[in-house]
Amino acid sequence: MKTPNRRFKDEIYDQFSRIGKAVSSPKRLELLDILCQGERTVEILANETCLTIANTSQHLQVLKNSRLVEQEKKGLYVVYRPAPMVCQFLLSLRKVAENRIAEIEQIKNRFLEGKKGMEPIALDALIDRIQKQEVILLDVRPEEEFRAGHIIGALSVPLKELEFMLTKLPKDKEIVAYCRGPYCVLSVDAVLLLNEKGYHAVRLEEGVQDWHARGLSLASGQSPS
């Protein structure tokens, strides 16, 4: 027969394990990563993750039951957002995985191999160059993510609009593109396109959540003209 102390410990760790079970799915981790960029409808999340709406709804229900996401009715739609502290938890989980699982770096290196402009950028030097207006910083995420929060000084040029905006970008300045973080491919595609068209472009691995975690300020709202 279990003692009261043992029952207490079992019950507590059983509740802790709910978080582990909720994030044990790769797709649910990806959904949380997207939601940390800004609130979304189930339809948009389904499109972003290449899931059906039904499967996306099921994953969101698991996350909701574990108190990792919240939902709100806005007009005709229901939007989802991460619960407080979830984005910090997700970033910590990523850091532990990067530190302990060598395959992550190997997968990333294979994907980036041979692609121009993917070398890591020294963040301190980049901040100084942004302040001196020596580089153009492009946020190539969807516009709603930019409005929710972006690096100060960045211009919003969603990847799908980049080719139409090329004539407005100078070729005598280095362009730095960023998106959601080190495993987001939007900035990879942006840098490849820019370099192919004769610009000098590089990729910033860090995203908005990384920037915020370093204690650096963010801005919100529309991009300056």
Residue positions annotated with a catalytic role = 179
Residues 10, 32: Cα–Cα separation, whole Å = 28
Residues 109, 56: Cα–Cα separation, whole Å = 30
Neighbours of 25 (CB within 10 A): 13
Element (H, E) at 4: helix 4-22
CB neighbour class for 119 (10 Å; exposed up to 12, middle 13-18, buried from 19): exposed
**Residue 14 is encoded by which pair of tokens?**
């059983």
Name the residue type at position 155.
L
Listed in sequence order, the residues at least 6 apart from 64 whose beta carbon sits closer than 8 Å to its beta carbon are 70, 71, 80
**Residue 170 is encoded by which pair of tokens?**
């100078």
Residues 224, 164: Cα–Cα separation, whole Å = 18
Let me know: does 190 contact 138? Beta carbons within 8 Å: yes
The residues that bridge with 137 in the sheet, in sequence order, are 176
